[in-house]
Structure 1
Amino acid sequence: MDCLFCLIILCTACFLYCIKHYLRAVYLALNLPGPPALPILGNVLLLNNEKRLVELGISASQLYGSLARCWISIIPFFWIYEPKHLKLILPGKNSQKNIFYKLLHNFIGKGLITNNGMTWKTHRKLIQPYFHISVLENYINVFCDNTQDLLNSLEENKDIKITPFINKCILSILHNTILGVCLDDDKESPYRKGEVILKERITKPWLLIETIFKYTPFAKTEEIQKLTLHNYTKKILLRRRDGIQKAPCQNLLDMLIEISENNHDFTDEDIINEAVTFMLAGQDSVGAAVAFTLYYVAKHEEVQSRIAKELEEVLESDRPTVTELCNMKYLQQCIKESLRLAPSVPIISRVLTEDVVLDGHTLPAGTNIFISPFITHRLPHYFPNPSTFDPDRFSEENVDKRHPFSFIPFSAGQRNCIGYKFALLEIKTILAGVLRRFQINLVPGHEDLEFSYRTTLRAKGGIWLRLNARK
């Protein structure tokens, strides 16, 4: 009997030791402010209340101070949004991507977005040189060609929902620049139909358990999507290797093949994973950035006039050079101000790999955290009148005065978005084309912007514009 009692005590002690970081995180969560939580479910139902989510994002710092907590079922998460705190977390020495990114393996595979450790570090080092500005310059013609196709598809003096046109343009650009194939009909591409099921798994926490999830219809849908995307990309890869299908322009897939030929640890599976990752990561995020910028510019006539004047001064033809794109300073300010108000990725998630002290509170190793550009970009002590659209916030003078981690639309630190320069050049080319040809206005009845949360931020119901040809 004594032996049994000792065994129970020993097992209990071992169990408590194994979950000590969890217990420390729970204790901290119980002593920090945050939105009211339900038993067992925690705050997951908030994800289905998009209006309330936006309200909390706008007022989080006023409601909860510099650090807040929430619950995903019985697991505590901590919201970190103050730039001084982000400076300690985002460089990546004490954190890595958490379980939510591992769940994306079921959809996009193991690429730069979802990987951790040496695999991520090695792939990032191998791929990074291909996103240097001297390489990106070769994509400008593709941006221009597809922007021209977009402009030809738009009708003047007519109210249109601009978002499908923008998304089609970007999908075509990605097929050319990432896969090296021309997309004659966007309906032929499986990348047009992909849908991430992460939100459904979070709002039903029992689906986070893989042994339960794999028996659900969600798992089957996700597996079919993954197979479709990977088989489509593999088919292009094999044709390229066999010399059957030549690329019409420089593209990332050929560069990944070049990496694999010089580094045998970089396999065909790695090529497919990375190509799928770039195709998906560059689609919704860039589409949202273009659409939101058009919305805010259409809403502010004086801003649009300044852009039109700058384009007239900078551009010598309808096909901008990389130098001309870089000289579009005010347009870039407008893009950044749009990304401030509507960051394409509103929430980033991490797990701490060591204890971190923030404002006297110790967040233990193993703690899950949310980083929200949506909240950080609205901190009134960094952005006065944060709901006001003001591109001059991003003049060189004003940027130099602000904390470098107060604006993080592409994340920051060693795990920042590898393709952000590519994205900015792409966004500028499309916007310059549209705003040089058209005067844009909001459509009556569609003036109000309502956000919709998925993996990326979107405009509920899309964005409607009225286009009038410029003289």
Structure 2
Amino acid sequence: MLDFAIFAVTFVIILVGAVLYLYPSSRRASGIPGFNPTDEKDGNLQDIVNRGSLHEFLVSLHQEFGSVASFWFGGRPVVSLGSVHQLQQHINPNHSTDSFETMLKSLLGYQSGIGGGANESVIRKKVYENAINTMLKNNFSLVLKLVDELVGKWRSFPEDQHTPLCAHLLGLALKAVTQLALGERFRDDTEVISFRKNHDAIWSEIGKGYLDGSLEKSSSRKERYEKALSEMESMLVSVEKERKAQRRQTAFVDSLLQSSLTERQIMEDCMVFTLAGSVITANLCIWALHFLSTSEEVQDKLYQELEDVLGSDPISLDKIAQLTYCQQVLNETVRTAKLTPVAARLQEVEGKVDQHVIPKETLVIYALGVVLQDSETWRTPYRFDPDRFKEESARKSFCLLGFSGNQTCPELRFAYTVATVLLSTLVRQLKLHQLKGQVMEVRSELVSTPKDETWITVSRRS
């Protein structure tokens, strides 16, 4: 499993650091209740570290101060919103570029497009999303093939054999993302292994310098990180040149090559999609199968829908929309696992939430992990219950939070497609069983990840 060693704090703290660097003139968000800084230099950073993650810190913040609260990063206040009602007030007038993509590009040192204005950002985002859609349409049969290979492997296991979800589903995600995004070159396992090595090295270090400067203090670590990033970039540039010469039109990179993006921008977008797409796809699949293994009833309901809609046929791209219950299972997986527990936006103009004024250039955190388990929004919030998404109110809240509809992260939409293919193939052939005595602990970082390997057993359907 990838070692997401991003200190003890999630990506939004990293993004805070970037925002404070890029927007040094931000003003104080006065009048909003919250924690006073415990350190003049670091603000509440040590409190966040002591809690173990930003998500856990935000849980305590909102429990004490309500749904609109503040804390301090360095000498600057940050505002956090912890309820659907307050998020709705803030999101509607503040649509902007995807915060995950902005954060990741900032950490990688990619600044192209930032100064090009809103129009360039919108155009580039559209090119990016269209490239993902075209890639899936052209390569759906490849996703089916990769899933069939994995399910066939599981079918061959003895029924008492422990199956490691993290290892196998990360492998599936890496193969799917690299082959669909970068082409046939990554049908070679050695290329995938090389990609993963550099992928792991980048994710294990990214963002640390914003927190404690430790990367700068360790020449060996900095050298490893810079070497991995350089090798990954060189590989992407090499793929770009190969695909351009071949004039193929099936992979993600091919669509970017047909756009007006520069070579540098194409490399950057390939980096963002392959890094983020692998992580999000792997963890959505891991959590979905884990939760299914805990409920035979949910598995049986999903099996019946798959039989009714697909019969004995393999799933097709146009049939995915008809799998309503499967969508509910994935939605509930994202909600229960708090798949992406935090998001953030920069307050571009002065705004207001309830009676609170939020000054221009304040960083506003969306405490999604808090909201996703808020008892006022979700009945029995800690229970895995896909049926809750039969209710229109649940679907609306989920859409508002950016997990469905037009505002969904493109990498998450890709992950939903791969996960749907996996569930539609696996559940019709096998039953999943939870391993007794296994305790699931979570790392709430960029993407919520099991702290340790997660095991299940499988048996064939009669």
Query: Tell me, what secondary structure is at the counterpart of 1:195?
Result: helix
Amino acid at match of 1:254: D
Q: 2:435 aligns with which of 429, 443, 457?
A: 443
Amino acid at match of 2:234: N
User: Is 1:311 aligned with 2:306?
Assistant: yes
Instruction: Give me the identity figure in percent.
Output: 19
Q: Spell out the pairing of 1:450-469 with structure 2 (5 A cutoff).
A: 450-469=441-460
Query: Tell me, what secondary structure is at the counterpart of 1:381?
Result: coil
Amino acid at match of 2:451: K
Name 2:11's counterpart in structure 1.
none
Name 1:144's counterpart in structure 2.
144
Contact 1:108 1:273 in 2 (8 A): no
Deviation at 1:439, TM superposition (A): 1.0
User: Is 1:159 aligned with 2:134?
Assistant: no
Contact 1:214 1:220 in 2 (8 A): no
Query: Tell me, what secondary structure is at the counterpart of 2:187?
Result: coil
Contact 1:354 1:365 in 2 (8 A): yes
Q: Distance in 2 between matches of 1:215 and 1:116?
A: 37
Closer/same/farther in 2, CA of residues 413 and 175 from structure 1, 3 Å limit: closer
Q: Distance in 1 between matches of 2:84 and 2:245?
A: 50
Q: Distance in 2 between matches of 1:454 and 1:176?
A: 26
Deviation at 1:280, TM superposition (A): 1.0
Q: Spell out the pairing of 1:323-334 with structure 2 (5 A cutoff).
A: 323-334=318-329
Q: Distance in 2 between matches of 1:437 and 1:255?
A: 35
More deviation, 31-40/220-229: 31-40
Query: Tell me, what secondary structure is at the counterpart of 1:42?
Result: coil
Q: Deviations 1:314-364 (Å, cap 9, x if unpaired)? A: 223362112332222111101101101223322112221111111211111
Name 2:421's counterpart in structure 1.
429
Contact 2:253 2:266 in 1 (8 A): yes
Q: 2:403 aligns with which of 388, 409, 416?
A: 409
Contact 1:58 1:378 in 2 (8 A): no
Deviation at 1:419, TM superposition (A): 4.2
Q: Spell out the pairing of 1:54-453 with structure 2 (5 A cutoff).
A: 55-57=56-58, 61-91=62-92, 93=94, 101=102, 104-107=105-108, 109-110=110-111, 117-132=118-133, 136-154=136-154, 155-157=157-159, 158-181=161-184, 182-185=186-189, 186-190=192-196, 192-196=199-203, 197-204=205-212, 213=216, 219-243=222-246, 250-259=250-259, 263=260, 266-317=261-312, 319-395=314-390, 397-399=392-394, 402-403=396-397, 406-409=400-403, 416-446=408-438, 448-453=439-444
Amino acid at match of 2:187: L
Q: Distance in 2 between matches of 1:317 and 1:137?
A: 22
Deviation at 1:391, TM superposition (A): 0.7
Contact 1:105 1:114 in 2 (8 A): no
Query: Tell me, what secondary structure is at the counterpart of 1:231?
Result: helix
Q: Which blocks of at least 5 consecutive residues in structure 2 are unaligned?
A: 1-22
More deviation, 457-466/77-86: 77-86
Q: Distance in 2 between matches of 1:99 and 1:329?
A: 27
Name 2:44's counterpart in structure 1.
43
More deviation, 357-366/66-75: 66-75
Q: Deviations 1:235-267 (Å, cap 9, x if unpaired)? A: 111122223xx86x82111111111xxx3xx21
Amino acid at match of 1:469: R
Larger radius of gyration: 1
Q: Distance in 2 between matches of 1:221 and 1:105?
A: 19
Q: Which blocks of at least 5 consecutive residues in structure 1 are unaligned?
A: 1-17
Deviation at 1:130, TM superposition (A): 3.6
What is the count of residue pairs matched by the alignment?
Answer: 432
Contact 2:67 2:81 in 1 (8 A): yes
Contact 2:277 2:412 in 1 (8 A): no
Closer/same/farther in 2, CA of residues 405 and 309 from structure 1, 3 Å limit: closer
Q: Deviations 1:373-425 (Å, cap 9, x if unpaired)? A: 2112112111122111111111154546x446554336x876x4234433221
Given the two structures, how large is their TM-score scaled by the length of structure 2? 0.82
Given the two structures, how large is their TM-score scaled by the length of structure 1? 0.81
Query: Tell me, what secondary structure is at the counterpart of 1:77?
Result: strand
Query: Tell me, what secondary structure is at the counterpart of 1:242?
Result: helix
Deviation at 1:273, TM superposition (A): 0.9
Name 2:3's counterpart in structure 1.
none
Contact 1:320 1:429 in 2 (8 A): yes
Q: Distance in 2 between matches of 1:317 and 1:113?
A: 49
Amino acid at match of 1:470: R
Closer/same/farther in 2, CA of residues 100 and 146 from structure 1, 3 Å limit: closer
Query: Tell me, what secondary structure is at the counterpart of 1:282?
Result: helix
Name 1:3's counterpart in structure 2.
none
